[in-house]
Structure 1
Amino acid sequence: MVLKTIKNKFLRYGIFAVIGLILLFLLFILSIKWGAWGKLPTIEDLSDFQYQRASEVYSADSVLIGKYYLYDRQPIAFEDIPKNVLEALVAIEDERFYEHNGIDYPSLGRVALKTILMQDQSAGGGGTLTQQLAKNLYPRRDRTKANIVVNKIKEMMIATRLEDIFNKEEILTHYLNTVSFGDNTFGIESASLKFFNKRTQELNLEEAAVLVGMLKATYGYNPRVFPERSLQRRNLVLASMAKNEFISENEKDSLVKTPLFLNYRQYDNNEGIAPYFREEVRKKMLKWTQEQQEEGNEYNIYTSGLKIYTTLDYNMQFWAEAAMREHMQSLQASFEKSYGNNAPWLKNKSLINKWIKQSPLYRKMKAVGLEEKQIMDSLQQKKKMVLVDWEGEKTVEASSIDSLQHYMKFLNTGSLSIDPHNGAVKTWIGGVDFEHFKFDHVAQSKRQVGSTFKPFVYTAALEVGIEPCTYFSAEEVEYENLKGWSPSNSGNKDETYLNYSMEEALSNSVNTVAVKVLEKTGIENVITMAKNMGIFSELPKQPSLALGTGEIYLNELAGAYASYVNKGRAILPYFIKTIADQKDSVLVKFEPKRAVEPAFSEQTRQVMVEMMKSTIDKGTASRLRTTYKLNNAIAGKTGTTQNNKDAWFVALTPNLVHVTWVGLDNHEIGFRSTSLGQGANAALPIFAKLMQEMNRHPSYNEITKAQFTSTDPKVLSMLDCEPVKRDGFFKRLFKNPDKKKKKKFRN
């Protein structure tokens, strides 16, 4: 009736149009609510949403060393969020957060007036923290301008439902646990660990302001990438806090003068401490979760927020890696210098060609049908690429073949420290650089172990009744029934006239004597002893076994040596103690796996420890005492394989076993000389530098100050003999040092 009294038909039509638009808009809103533009989450859906949580890996001393995730998120409780984070967030993002029910109508009015009518783009978006939470939980899929209104209204509707379900504290908690900080990092806890290497509850006010300031533009205000922009944004957050009376003006003025400090830590598979170890843990966890899924437990290493507590000692690992880098950089330089311009990776065409044909790129091109000439032409094309050495990354003009030759020359390493009494892994280094050399030389590599196998031979010999003071001639022998095989020593010809006690022969790693001890003991007895000591790899039933031609995993070698300080019982190295769920309830606990029965007698154990002490005190590993000035209780054994291709060192202390291997992944390249490639030079320094560092820290006295158990006087008397006996005059008279003795190997 009112409209009929309006005589101006244009005004009347205009009012009809406005009413029609309002009705259409209401219908449009109802269509969104009813799901015409996509189903809205129900109250039940919103009440029961689950975060995808990163699983966390901890060292034995509770340091977070790594994470496995699809999205790097570590949700925390409201109690773990400090007041300064909450106040900074509300001050800069939603001043009326505690007053609205999910929609800030005054803010919407401001946006409508300034942005739409006055075209002021600085007016902001009018969205509340609750609406942003809705967007975090249900990200926009269609980002076209045509759909932006639909998305905004959906988020408002979800926001009002969230306000009905959760209180303000819960909304803030959910928001801070879901919001993105860029670089696949979600939630305040993960961001705090990444940028400041500390938990959220440890953040100071200016650090909290930096992280909250990032939320407006996670890349543009990234403090690592754009520190100046981040600093300006941080100060704006602090100013907003002062404006909202969360802090005083004086406090704000003081804080804005504070420089930006970061302690950035990337939880990346290729970076950080113990990458090879973390990868081995990941493999173990994948196997465990698969077994759990088969039993109906839906655990996922990447999304379930599992907590994996390992045996690794954080400080020892840090020092071991530092020792490895220092030694390997120096050794690499000496290695390359020893070959000079005649290096096999430069001059050996047949070897280079063999490696080319084994490369993935060559095989890929061959598989698609390219001819040999086409492949080689392609591989020889120069292009810009990044090559890595111990000096860092370098961008150079190089071909694929140049790159192959560059990486052919790299020495690699594997080292492992374990507690010999329970097998707990303390340090684990699988190689020199996980990003570029993924192959793990602890768990994946089987190499000839050289003279580090000799203690197993001598242990078996003692067990069959051979006395420690039995003498064996060092004379070189040519074994006629072994195709003239003739093991030799690295000493001079005068050794022809020398006869070594077992202790002296082992401590100086005399090859000819080791073979003769094996011959007298019996190959089968030695192999049986090795297996009883935990060696599970197949061993060659050949006399060369005495010289360590058997290929053995580094971790099984460590477990076998542990028997010498573990009452004769072998131990299997293990590295995960417990797995817990996101609430820290223990799901499974792993126990050490020890041999039930000792592999040898207590007397034999004591004799062998005394013999290996001699290796350190006056034998092939004496530089631990002379060069590195280590006075710790240490026994051990060096090892070097044929043509100097593998260098080994095993250190045995009362509470720690450490094994190191150094060599090239290419078995066809060895060290140029024994002086450079022997275990005492190439492998031993990594342990020596680690032990030097541990000696500086009293907290490791349990390892560094530990002493071997007292040796029985009877054992000491068994070893009380002249180390070396020289042949008598007439025996020397009829021996020709230039002529090898010939005989058959009897076994």
Structure 2
Amino acid sequence: MAAAPKKKQKNNFFKFIKWFWILFITGLLAVVLIFLAASWNWFGELPTFERLENPQTNLATEIISSDGETLGKYYIDDNRTPIPFEELPKNLVNALVATEDARYFEHSGVDARGTIRAFAYLGSKGGASTISQQLAKQLFTGTASRGWKRYTQKIKEWVIATRLERQYTKEEIIAMYFNIYDFGNNADGIRSAAKIYFSKEPKELNVSESAMLVGMFKNSSLYNPRPKRNPEGTKNRRDVVLAQMAKYEFIPEKLKDSLQKLPLALRYSPESHSDGLATYFRMHLQSFLNQWISKNPKPALKGERDKWNIYLDGLKVYTTIDSRMQRNAEDAVQEHMKNLQAEFFNQNTPERNKTAPFLDINTSQINSIMERGMKVSDRWRKMKSNGKSEKEIRASFKEPTPMVVFDWNSVGNEKDTIMTPLDSIRYYKSFLRTAMMSMEPQTGHVKAWVGGLNYKHFQYDNVIQGARQAGSTFKPFVYAAAIDQLRLSPCETLYDDEYCIEAGKHGNQEAWCPKNSDGKYSLKNMSLKTALAGSVNTVTAQLMDKVGPKPVVAMAKNMGITRDILEVPSIALGTADVNVYEMVGAFGTFANEGVYVKPVLVTRIEDKNGTVLYEYVPETRDVMSKDVAYAMVDLMQGVVQSGSGGRLRHSYAKNNAVYKEVVTGYPYNLTNPIAGKTGTTQKNSDGWFMGMVPNLVTGVWVGGEERATHFNRTAYGQGATMALPIWGLYMVKNYANKELDISDGNFKRPAGMSIELDCSKFQEDKKDDTSPEEDDLDDLDF
């Protein structure tokens, strides 16, 4: 009888063991069943194998310069450009592992120890989400509400995490995690974050910078380093990451202590469509890409878009722009236009000009300009689309309104002010505008493109949208046609006196008798080279009369001018409207030995995987012989040697007060061979300069949005004062950087040149020539 309790205890022990194993196996089966249920989509659809292979994330299209710099991106919500693991610095990866998942390289997607600890302490000693689970949530599950859905989401994350671990290497998962995270302030992914917060590529990040960015994984909205957000909290969080790195021996304690004493050292550079480098070029590039997309369907999987999307598909667009030359161009424009504008304001105070900023027009014409300005404004368009009456819209233009306006003298070129929208229209019309494009003539590669002063405030791109009278920059087309058709030498002479082309001779209805710009005539014979250097209108008129307008227009068209040009004699003085884009392409023909090359913006386009989708094919055509092209270069070298382009040389304008007070950077001390042509239109409405060295052609235009916005004196309003200094500043900056390899040598002279360029020899030959029918050019009937 005494042994009964022991037997009972033994039975209870076996009973306990039995139930332990039953509960253990049941629990294990339940876990397995739960995971199977999740994999069978009982808790919601899981990503397919194809989606795991190609997770869908919105990727920004990246615009890349010819020297490998990112000029900007196209995106709507996600400014994301993925990079491979190899481009992540080791300290960045170490910071992530130390802070988010210390056993990352040991588990297979789910950290069993971390999960048990999280259950045991109910999360008070840290969660159990691995990097793989966090990536799964970012890519596929998102953040669910609390309760049952939160638990089922966690289970789904476990399943997806293990699948990701089977599908990708540990390194690929880390790269995907860095690429997917939103760091705030349009910094989607580590590439954008490094650029926006530190103006660096990810591989250039140091330990402190890496720690700050990894610290933001906790909550990028809360840990925002910008001055008016939470820089102190972000620094504290960075210090926590540094402590974790020391704890797991990724960095020594001494280094941790020293780094924690450092400030965040931000170099905040926001990325937006209206900020950064080459903004006008980037906006024009969109139209190029949209045209390309319309003609090139996307090979899409079932259910995907069949058209490329520049905001979502992560294209890489390789452009011809050189970021260094682009920066030089933008700096040159800023430096000169700020000075020029200051002088324009000085001459257009209410006391000096009651109709400022307009000249030579009456009140009715000014009212028409202001009326047009209102009706094309965003305010008018938006109010009209919102159903406002015209009376309400007009009234709103007279109400004082707080606004941010462009101002050369304020920080960031912006100032807060209060003015009526009508006054703001007049204010913006008082600013002189500009356009500049630079191209390599042999390839057509566009190296720099500046469409205006500031894209945020002046969105009209004067490089390609604007078209203004060419003035004397059109004269080289006349000279080229004459030399080509008549085989003239630049040394040929014509008499400078009043010259008229009679009515009806070349389609003109009235007699055309152009005057020289100063209204005077030298009453002397002058060579074509001297005439072009001095921009003598009477000589140009004689050439036009001899060759006729039709060959001149044909020459301009063959050199890339696409706008309609009337075939009348007056076009010789640049009455036709042209834009900078086409003029640079045309002048490139002279520098490229008579071969026109259409300007090129994009060399190739790749998809996100590096597959080439587009490669450019040059568009070229022979326009003139090498001899004629070189003769034109020789003529235009005379413009810089002794004409209006002489301002590029040190010896010019030593005592020219106008030039000294308006022009930045003078003297330029450019002594190398330069060919060019200035241009000034009627009443100084437009100032041009087209400048060339053997491997770079650049065009600059300056003028008001309205033709009535101009200087009153030619000394200020001519192309040599308004436009040429931008070219001079730009080239000085280019030559300072030897890596750009901008030519400072001679233009290539064709072998066996058939057109005589040595004027002393030319005159000797003429004396020896006794043939009566060739004795006097003026007597020839062309």
Distance in 2, matches of 1:228 and 1:334, equals 46
Residues 400 and 419 of structure 2 are in contact (CA less than 8 Å); yes or no, is this contact kept in structure 1?
yes
Q: Which amino acid aligns with 1:489?
A: N
Q: Does 1:716 align with 2:757?
A: yes
Among candidates 573, 589, 592, match of residue 547 of structure 1:
573
Q: Which amino acid aligns with 1:62?
A: G
Aligned to 2:5: none
Among candidates 273, 278, 299, match of residue 274 of structure 1:
278
Aligned to 1:69: 75
Aligned to 1:331: 340
Q: Does 1:471 align with 2:516?
A: no
Q: Which amino acid aligns with 2:237?
A: R
- Report matched runs for 1:129-528 at 5 Å: 129-140=131-142, 142-143=144-145, 147-225=149-227, 226-293=230-297, 299-341=308-350, 342-345=354-357, 348-363=366-381, 365=383, 372-390=390-408, 391=410, 392-465=413-486, 466=488, 468=490, 469-475=492-498, 482-483=509-510, 486-493=513-520, 495=521, 497-528=523-554
Residues 135 and 155 of structure 1 are in contact (CA less than 8 Å); yes or no, is this contact kept in structure 2?
yes
- Report matched runs for 1:550-699 at 5 Å: 550-595=576-621, 597=622, 599-625=623-649, 626=652, 627-699=667-739
Query: Residues 87, 364 of structure 1: CA spacing in aligned structure 2 closer, same or farther, 3 A cutoff?
Result: closer
Query: Residues 25, 656 of structure 1: CA spacing in aligned structure 2 closer, same or farther, 3 A cutoff?
Result: closer
TM-score with structure 2 length normalisation? Answer: 0.82
Q: Does 1:529 align with 2:555?
A: yes
Q: Which amino acid aligns with 2:374?
A: I
Residues 403 and 418 of structure 2 are in contact (CA less than 8 Å); yes or no, is this contact kept in structure 1?
yes
Residues 59 and 314 of structure 1 are in contact (CA less than 8 Å); yes or no, is this contact kept in structure 2?
yes
- List per-residue Cα deviations over 1:100-151 (Å, max 9, x = no partner): 44444554555556668xxx6xx55443222211111124365466743443
Distance in 2, matches of 1:371 and 1:168, equals 62
Query: Residues 44, 399 of structure 1: CA spacing in aligned structure 2 closer, same or farther, 3 A cutoff?
Result: same
- List per-residue Cα deviations over 1:576-596 (Å, max 9, x = no partner): 12223434444432132221x
Deviation at 1:690, TM superposition (A): 1.0
TM-score with structure 1 length normalisation? Answer: 0.85
Q: Which amino acid aligns with 1:651?
A: G
Among candidates 49, 52, 55, match of residue 55 of structure 2:
49
List alignment gaps of at least 5 residues for structure 2.
1-7, 13-25, 301-305, 653-666, 764-780
Deviation at 1:40, TM superposition (A): 2.7
Q: Which amino acid aligns with 1:221?
A: Y
Distance in 2, matches of 1:648 and 1:254, equals 57
Deviation at 1:573, TM superposition (A): 0.8
Query: Residues 529, 478 of structure 1: CA spacing in aligned structure 2 closer, same or farther, 3 A cutoff?
Result: closer
Q: Which amino acid aligns with 1:309?
A: Y
SS where residue 538 of structure 1 aligns?
Answer: coil
Aligned to 2:771: none
Distance in 1, matches of 2:542 and 2:260, equals 78
Distance in 1, matches of 2:692 and 2:163, equals 65
Distance in 2, matches of 1:166 and 1:532, equals 56
Deviation at 1:267, TM superposition (A): 3.4
Query: Residues 534, 22 of structure 1: CA spacing in aligned structure 2 closer, same or farther, 3 A cutoff?
Result: closer
SS where residue 72 of structure 1 aligns?
Answer: coil
SS where residue 218 of structure 2 aligns?
Answer: coil
SS where residue 638 of structure 2 aligns?
Answer: helix
Q: Which amino acid aligns with 1:516?
A: Q
Residues 311 and 575 of structure 1 are in contact (CA less than 8 Å); yes or no, is this contact kept in structure 2?
yes
Task: Report which stretch shifted further, 242-251 or 649-658.
Answer: 242-251
Query: Residues 667, 241 of structure 1: CA spacing in aligned structure 2 closer, same or farther, 3 A cutoff?
Result: same
Aligned to 1:88: 95
Deviation at 1:684, TM superposition (A): 0.5
Query: Residues 290, 240 of structure 1: CA spacing in aligned structure 2 closer, same or farther, 3 A cutoff?
Result: same
Residues 420 and 562 of structure 1 are in contact (CA less than 8 Å); yes or no, is this contact kept in structure 2?
yes
Query: Residues 368, 303 of structure 1: CA spacing in aligned structure 2 closer, same or farther, 3 A cutoff?
Result: closer
Query: Residues 537, 133 of structure 1: CA spacing in aligned structure 2 closer, same or farther, 3 A cutoff?
Result: same
Deviation at 1:24, TM superposition (A): 12
Deviation at 1:489, TM superposition (A): 2.5
Q: Which amino acid aligns with 2:83?
A: I
Residues 476 and 496 of structure 1 are in contact (CA less than 8 Å); yes or no, is this contact kept in structure 2?
no
SS where residue 703 of structure 1 aligns?
Answer: coil
Alignment RMSD: 3.4
Deviation at 1:81, TM superposition (A): 2.8
Q: Which amino acid aligns with 1:315?
A: R
List alignment gaps of at least 5 residues for structure 1.
7-19, 723-745
Q: Which amino acid aligns with 2:243?
A: A
Q: Which amino acid aligns with 2:620?
A: R
Distance in 2, matches of 1:145 and 1:287, equals 50
SS where residue 639 of structure 2 aligns?
Answer: helix
Distance in 2, matches of 1:43 and 1:265, equals 39
Distance in 1, matches of 2:472 and 2:547, equals 17
Distance in 1, matches of 2:584 and 2:208, equals 49
Task: Report which stretch shifted further, 301-310 or 56-65.
Answer: 301-310
Residues 499 and 542 of structure 2 are in contact (CA less than 8 Å); yes or no, is this contact kept in structure 1?
no
Q: Does 1:79 align with 2:86?
A: yes
Distance in 2, matches of 1:362 and 1:48, equals 46
Query: Residues 503, 131 of structure 1: CA spacing in aligned structure 2 closer, same or farther, 3 A cutoff?
Result: same
- List per-residue Cα deviations over 1:44-67 (Å, max 9, x = no partner): 643443444333222112222222
Residues 639 and 677 of structure 2 are in contact (CA less than 8 Å); yes or no, is this contact kept in structure 1?
yes
Percent identical? 39
Distance in 2, matches of 1:646 and 1:307, equals 38
Query: Residues 35, 200 of structure 1: CA spacing in aligned structure 2 closer, same or farther, 3 A cutoff?
Result: same
SS where residue 192 of structure 1 aligns?
Answer: helix
- List per-residue Cα deviations over 1:493-535 (Å, max 9, x = no partner): 4x26445432222111122332232122211121122223332
Deviation at 1:648, TM superposition (A): 0.7
Residues 576 and 590 of structure 1 are in contact (CA less than 8 Å); yes or no, is this contact kept in structure 2?
yes
SS where residue 283 of structure 2 aligns?
Answer: helix
Distance in 1, matches of 2:756 and 2:592, equals 18
Distance in 1, matches of 2:80 and 2:391, equals 51
Query: Residues 608, 232 of structure 1: CA spacing in aligned structure 2 closer, same or farther, 3 A cutoff?
Result: same
- List per-residue Cα deviations over 1:631-682 (Å, max 9, x = no partner): 1210110011122211110002111111111112224433332222211011
Q: Which amino acid aligns with 1:619?
A: G
Residues 178 and 186 of structure 1 are in contact (CA less than 8 Å); yes or no, is this contact kept in structure 2?
yes
Q: Does 1:59 align with 2:65?
A: yes
Residues 548 and 569 of structure 2 are in contact (CA less than 8 Å); yes or no, is this contact kept in structure 1?
no
Query: Residues 231, 447 of structure 1: CA spacing in aligned structure 2 closer, same or farther, 3 A cutoff?
Result: same
